[in-house]
Structure 1
Amino acid sequence: MKYMIGIDIGTTSTKSVIYDEEGNYLNKHNVEYPMTTSEIGVAEENPAEIFDAVLFTVKKVIREANAKPEQIKLISFSSAMHSLIAMDKDNNPLTECITWADNRASKYADDIKENKDGLEIYKRTGTPIHPMSPLSKIYWLKNEHPEIFKETKYWIDIKSYVFYQLFNEYVMDHSIGSATGMMNLKTLSWDKDVMNLLGIDDSQLPELVSTTHIMKNISKKYAEFMGISENTPVIVGASDGVLSNLGVNSYKKGEVAVTIGTSGAIRTIIDQPKTDEKGRIFCYVLTEDHYCIGGPVNNGGVVLRWLRDELLASEVETAKRLGVDSYDVLTKIASRVKPGANGLIFHPYLAGERAPLWNANAKGSFFGLTLTHKKEHMIRAALEGVLLNLYTVYLALIEVMGSSPEQIKATGGFAKSEVWRQMMADIFDTSVEVPESYESSCLGACVLGLKAIGEIDSFNVLDNMVGNTYKHEPNKDNVDVYQSLIPIFINLSRKLSEEYDLISDFQKKHS
């Protein structure tokens, strides 16, 4: 028996998943860590805690599988994008791990966008100009914290930090590199004009490598701790988003995957890098022959959690006593209301928004509220709002692709809800299928690993690894309702752009 281990370094936790050689899920272990949000805009984590989580999760799944070091065929990595750590000359962190959710670079992202040829930078790098990107974060640190900027010897991400601990060298895969806003998509190298803008050079950034690059000479003490051989192939891997598409077998032309966890994303794979004249979607690398285009949204399951905690306290208590999942209660309440929630629209921008607005100041709102609306209408409108927002990203994606997909593959926690799955089919007016894939980013990492070690030539092996569960077709009557709401939803969010900034300023002053 041989085993594969996929490691996913996430924003709130790291998980390791162990599979057999055929890609069958065997076990996983997850370690959570806190995020510091002590001030408005701050979203940081301790890199040492994340590294420990990698070590302990690998050790745990190997032990539980009773696997010997020589039975581990490969280890491959997935990681959240857009993190930044400043390292000093002694390779010690000068900052915490600044995550994608950190918003302190907002003013400087606006400056790049408006005064520093931001659209052209986006077209070359594929990362929309936004405070999430390391590009904006470094520019912010240069201007607001010059003492840190001057002391920084290396600018790295969390996966580069983990690899430095394990291998004593700084590397970054093309997938994570393409999410920094600093890597040129055509040359797969650090963009010279961006280097000049930031006042840094290539020597301060990790070496860019393929997503199938195999790391060698792992630290003996860490190999022994985890229970692996020093010769175990460790594949650098890619970002969680592109690997999720791979892990649900959605990498062929015209296939679209929608994931909704805490946040959400919609993605499709193409064979050449492509960007959007309006700067609405990202383009990230999977391999040199596979590029992922799409858009991330901040507001997915986080909206459900807000609804549950703030509007459904009594219902949640009852659900707990009955042993019923509180989210099932929420979607059941929503199902009492007709599609369109009697003309109530919810803009789900509770955490600002990336695609399609790329406006960190965007705020949530109900529109169309009347005395006839009840709690269940607000819940239904909020569930619809998350999907209507994703649909606007989908429209931008179709515009860039030049064609409409025939099917959407839906993944993430929301896919457990029949109500929400059908709602997606109706809003997108497209067939929705739920793949049967366990921990898609980790599985995608392992399949990428198989390609790296030369066991497979293509990703067709996924046809045997990923099954299907639910399938939903659009209901024509519901489609008609949503098609009449969509223009109102889109126009409102565009018209409120100035008001988002004004209310954001007000909240900062009076919170």
Structure 2
Amino acid sequence: MNGIYGIGVDIGTTSTKAVVFTEQGFIKTQHAIEYPMHTPEPGAAEQDPDVIFAAVIEVIAGCMRTLGQEGDHVAFVSFSSAMHSVIPVDSEGTPLSPCLTWADNRSKGWCDKLEKEWNGLHIYRRTGTPIHPMNPLTKLIWLRNDHPELFSRASKFISIKEYVFFKLFGQYVSDYSVASATGLLNVETLQWDSEALAMAGIGPNKLSQLVPPTFSLSGLSAEYAAAMGIKRELPFVVGASDGALSNIGLGATAPGVAAITIGTSGAFRILSDKPQLDSKGRTFCYAVTDSKWLVGGPVNNGGIVFRWVKEQLGGLEVQEAERTGKDAYELLTALAATIKPGSEGLLFHPYLAGERAPLWNADARGSYYGLTLRHTRAHMVRAAMEGILYNLKSVLSIVESLCGPASRIKASGGFARSSLWRSMMADILGREVLIPDCIESSCLGAVMIGFNSVGYREDWRIGEGSELHGHVPDAANAAVYQELFGIFQKLSPALVQHYEAIAEYQRK
């Protein structure tokens, strides 16, 4: 029982988790709670903010119960959260609607209008947030025009993490990175942007106080302190967004080191010492502090595509898994491994859930290209895996054009358990890929910020850490993938012009 501990809480889209770390970055214990996403109408993706708040309380309480007497060593709680959520609240802080998540696409029509008629690229250059339905700016425009009564009743528009802090401390605060992902923060001045606010139809009084990630509050009510099993005076550090903290937790903070995460969705990210904006608005640029910006691109189609593969193409593997107790995903990966790199010229565009980077097109749709009588189910499985990575390579290419080449990539997410996924990533990206030994990178990043906030560290680093796996590209495989990637990219413009028509037909 040496030293102090920090609790990192990650408020995610599908679950909230709390992880207790030592000063050296080792995990003591963790606790997680899942919750549903509600889709009451086409395009909706909502959650109950009070269910998520209850999950925050319970995951902290669960960790404290496990720690027992060692709970006295907890020095702070620090937060990570998903970006782009919007909750309209009244003057008492009571939600007027469910939480609108990043996946809510009902503002798509207003995105199109913003792009075509209101110079959306100009707003992107001011805020660093691409014009897309994920963007809270577009959600506010949609609420103001399509739900004016609800919009007019709202005293504030806040994110899920802001809601948690308000419930705990009665104050509305937002860290720079979550605020930057709203499309309402000026990426240069780190103040609410007057032009974006005018488009949204709100003033700065409708938004939270802006604070750095090390900002903390203390003085919990006796009720909440007892519910979590912690001291009332324990500091709660506001932290940052899950993307920014994943880079910090992975140790991907130096020039030339990129971070990639593949979970349900995915993202490439590089920390930069200055704002970096794409001339076509294909990447995000979010402030983290007053001297660090997160540059990258999120994709909708990561693990969600492989889940579709399992459900639609993996019936035999699912049956075997049920019979033997093996993992169906591991069986599918083993099937894909029987096929040579490149899937004998079968390409897969993985846009099953629309797409953010690099297309920023909610109407994007998936497709197989190059099918012949030679191709089997195994080819289709491997091609889907390769397609996910081709798409991420497209994002990496854009990010590198802004921030310079990435010599190394640090990766996290569920895919990292698979040797085939890891080696395929190195071959397709043409870079060394390192898998750090801590997969809870966002929670670890939050704890790094927390140790700095409460004065136990002068910077965000706990240590260099270590890697469980390292993969360098196989030259022959990389050459195959580079040739096919060129074809993959040439196909994209030809398909993009037809996405709207097929999506409109599907909506009918």
With normalisation by structure 1, the TM-score equals: 0.97
Q: 1:168 maps to what in 2?
A: 170
- Contact 2:124 2:130 (C-alpha < 8 Å) held by counterparts: yes
Query: Following TM superposition, by how much is the alpha carbon of 1:250 offset from its aligned partner in structure 2, in angstroms?
Result: 0.9
- Contact 1:68 1:227 (C-alpha < 8 Å) held by counterparts: no
1:109-508 matches, cutoff 5 A: 109-401=111-403, 403-463=404-464, 466-508=465-507
**Worse overlay, 71-80 or 316-325:** 316-325
Query: Following TM superposition, by how much is the alpha carbon of 1:324 offset from its aligned partner in structure 2, in angstroms?
Result: 1.5
Distance in 2 between residues matched to 1:167 and 1:231, nearest whole Å: 12
1:1-53 Cα shifts (integer Å, max 9, x gaps): 43210000000110011112322101111111111023221100000000000
Distance in 1 between residues matched to 2:319 and 2:287, nearest whole Å: 45
Query: Following TM superposition, by how much is the alpha carbon of 1:386 offset from its aligned partner in structure 2, in angstroms?
Result: 0.1
- Contact 1:243 1:286 (C-alpha < 8 Å) held by counterparts: no
**Worse overlay, 156-165 or 315-324:** 315-324
Distance in 1 between residues matched to 2:463 and 2:96, nearest whole Å: 42
1:60 and 2:66 equivalent? no
Distance in 1 between residues matched to 2:460 and 2:303, nearest whole Å: 30
Distance in 2 between residues matched to 1:200 and 1:38, nearest whole Å: 27
Distance in 1 between residues matched to 2:380 and 2:439, nearest whole Å: 33
Distance in 2 between residues matched to 1:112 and 1:118, nearest whole Å: 5
1:63-82 matches, cutoff 5 A: 63-67=65-69, 70-82=72-84
Distance in 2 between residues matched to 1:252 and 1:141, nearest whole Å: 40
Q: 1:45 maps to what in 2?
A: 47
Distance in 2 between residues matched to 1:115 and 1:317, nearest whole Å: 52
Structure 2: gaps spanning 5 or more residues = none
Structure 1 counterpart of 2:240, which letter?
Answer: A
Query: Following TM superposition, by how much is the alpha carbon of 1:354 offset from its aligned partner in structure 2, in angstroms?
Result: 0.3
Distance in 1 between residues matched to 2:33 and 2:499, nearest whole Å: 36
1:55-113 Cα shifts (integer Å, max 9, x gaps): 00100101101146643211000000000001122321111000000110111111112
Distance in 2 between residues matched to 1:68 and 1:196, nearest whole Å: 51
1:320-345 Cα shifts (integer Å, max 9, x gaps): 32221111111111111111111110
**Worse overlay, 129-138 or 216-225:** 216-225
Structure 2 counterpart of 1:378, which letter?
Answer: M
Match of 2:34 among 32, 35, 38: 32
Structure 1 counterpart of 2:426, which letter?
Answer: A
Distance in 2 between residues matched to 1:398 and 1:139, nearest whole Å: 32
1:477-510 Cα shifts (integer Å, max 9, x gaps): 111111111121112122212211011100110x
Cα 1:115–1:489 change in 2 (3 A) is same
**Worse overlay, 386-395 or 140-149:** 140-149
Distance in 1 between residues matched to 2:69 and 2:489, nearest whole Å: 53
SS at match of 1:237: strand
Query: Following TM superposition, by how much is the alpha carbon of 1:396 offset from its aligned partner in structure 2, in angstroms?
Result: 0.2
Distance in 1 between residues matched to 2:324 and 2:71, nearest whole Å: 45
Distance in 2 between residues matched to 1:238 and 1:381, nearest whole Å: 36
Structure 1 counterpart of 2:146, which letter?
Answer: E
- Contact 2:434 2:467 (C-alpha < 8 Å) held by counterparts: yes
**Worse overlay, 192-201 or 76-85:** 192-201
1:171-190 Cα shifts (integer Å, max 9, x gaps): 11101001000001111110
Query: Following TM superposition, by how much is the alpha carbon of 1:267 offset from its aligned partner in structure 2, in angstroms?
Result: 0.7
- Contact 2:85 2:100 (C-alpha < 8 Å) held by counterparts: yes
- Contact 1:171 1:206 (C-alpha < 8 Å) held by counterparts: yes
1:200-224 Cα shifts (integer Å, max 9, x gaps): 1000101111111011332221112
**Worse overlay, 253-262 or 490-499:** 490-499
Distance in 1 between residues matched to 2:49 and 2:245, nearest whole Å: 22
1:316-370 Cα shifts (integer Å, max 9, x gaps): 1112322211111111111111111111100000000000000011001001111
- Contact 1:18 1:62 (C-alpha < 8 Å) held by counterparts: no
Distance in 1 between residues matched to 2:212 and 2:460, nearest whole Å: 16
- Contact 2:190 2:287 (C-alpha < 8 Å) held by counterparts: no
Structure 1: gaps spanning 5 or more residues = none
- Contact 1:25 1:438 (C-alpha < 8 Å) held by counterparts: no
- Contact 2:123 2:196 (C-alpha < 8 Å) held by counterparts: yes
1:97-146 Cα shifts (integer Å, max 9, x gaps): 00000110111111112222211111111111100011010001111111
Query: Following TM superposition, by how much is the alpha carbon of 1:426 offset from its aligned partner in structure 2, in angstroms?
Result: 0.8
Distance in 2 between residues matched to 1:218 and 1:126, nearest whole Å: 35
Query: Following TM superposition, by how much is the alpha carbon of 1:196 offset from its aligned partner in structure 2, in angstroms?
Result: 1.1
Distance in 1 between residues matched to 2:5 and 2:170, nearest whole Å: 26
Distance in 2 between residues matched to 1:380 and 1:270, nearest whole Å: 34
Name the count of aligned residue pairs: 506
Distance in 2 between residues matched to 1:458 and 1:169, nearest whole Å: 27
- Contact 1:348 1:386 (C-alpha < 8 Å) held by counterparts: yes
SS at match of 2:288: strand
Distance in 1 between residues matched to 2:493 and 2:330, nearest whole Å: 33
Structure 1 counterpart of 2:460, which letter?
Answer: F
Distance in 2 between residues matched to 1:383 and 1:193, nearest whole Å: 42
Distance in 2 between residues matched to 1:406 and 1:90, nearest whole Å: 50
With normalisation by structure 2, the TM-score equals: 0.98
Structure 1 counterpart of 2:287, which letter?
Answer: V
**Worse overlay, 488-497 or 240-249:** 488-497
- Contact 2:185 2:192 (C-alpha < 8 Å) held by counterparts: yes
1:1-16 matches, cutoff 5 A: 1=2, 2-16=4-18
- Taking every aligned residue pair, what percent have the same amino acid on both sides? 47
Question: RMSD of the alignment, in Å?
Answer: 1.2
Distance in 2 between residues matched to 1:319 and 1:49, nearest whole Å: 33
Distance in 2 between residues matched to 1:69 and 1:230, nearest whole Å: 13
- Contact 2:86 2:159 (C-alpha < 8 Å) held by counterparts: yes
**Worse overlay, 415-424 or 386-395:** 415-424
Distance in 2 between residues matched to 1:71 and 1:410, nearest whole Å: 31
